[in-house]
Amino acid sequence: MIKIYHNPRCRKSREGLEVLEQSGQDFEVIKYLDKIPTKDELNEIIGYLGISPIELVRKNEAIWKEHYKGKELSDAEIVAAMVKHPKLIERPIVINGKKAVIGRPAEKINTLL
């Protein structure tokens, strides 16, 4: 089952959702600000993406700039920051099986379909 970690208030996330809707495939929408991923779930997603945790962080968010920017953080501390402040998680994330992409631009989602 395809999953999209989605923030309805984000234009890029809505564009990613539209790609999935147009694909005609079944998918699950996870509003990650309401159902915050656990540390284990985030680590699994990061593994599927094949990136380091810092690459999943929205570094222009005020929360990041105020509390974390310029600090030496371990991967575990970065994941903990995203769990504590899910607005820091880049979006949308689309997962199909054990593969995932950050849907920026939305066309990247097509690589999973």
**CA–CA distances in Å: residue 93 to residues 59, 70, 73:** 16, 26, 23
Whether the model clears a pTM of 0.75, i.e. scores above it, the answer is yes
CA distance 4 to 20: 9
Q: Which two tokens stand for residue 73?
A: 């953080």
Catalytic residue among 2, 3, 10, 23: 10
Q: Is 110 tagged catalytic?
A: no
**pLDDT class of 15 with cuts at 50, 70, 90:** very high
- Which parts of 1-113 fold into alpha helices (H)? 11-23, 39-49, 62-67, 75-84
Which among 1, 56, 4, 2 is positioned nearest to 30, based on CA atoms? 4
Q: Kindly list the strands in the beta sheet with 2-6, ordered across the sheet, starting from the edge strand earlier in the chain.
A: 27-31, 2-6, 93-96, 99-102
CA distance 21 to 34: 21
List pLDDT tens digits, range 93-107: 999 999 999 999 999
Instruction: Say what the pLDDT of residue 60 is.
Output: 97
The domains found in the chain, sorted by start residue, are 2-112 (3.40.30.10)
Instruction: Say what the pLDDT of residue 9 is.
Output: 96
CA distance 92 to 109: 9
